[in-house]
Amino acid sequence: MIRINCPFCGERDHSEFSYGGDASVISPLDAPAEQWLEAVFPAREYRWCSV
């Protein structure tokens, strides 16, 4: 097990530091607001019932 010293949280386990994906993908800055909303907040269809 590897322990990493976090300057904010103190010593943490290595499993808390994970690879989140490719950061080299750049979105166009001139995209319409609707496209940004869909990219940042993907639509989710939650199935639930209210009692």
Convert the pLDDT of each residue in 18-49 to its tens digit.
Answer: 777 777 777 778 889 888 888 777 777 667 76
Backbone angles phi, psi at 4, to 5 degrees: -115, 135
Work out the angle at residue 46's Cα, subtended by the Cα atoms of residues 17 and 49, and round it to the nearest 5 degrees: 130
Across the chain, how many H-helices and E-strands are there? 1, 2
Compute the distance between CA of residue 4 and CA of residue 2 in angstroms, rounded to an integer: 7
Instruction: Kindly state the tokens that stand for 51.
Output: 């009692």
Contact 11, 3 (CB under 8 A): yes
What is the model's pLDDT at position 50?
67
What is the model's pLDDT at position 11?
92
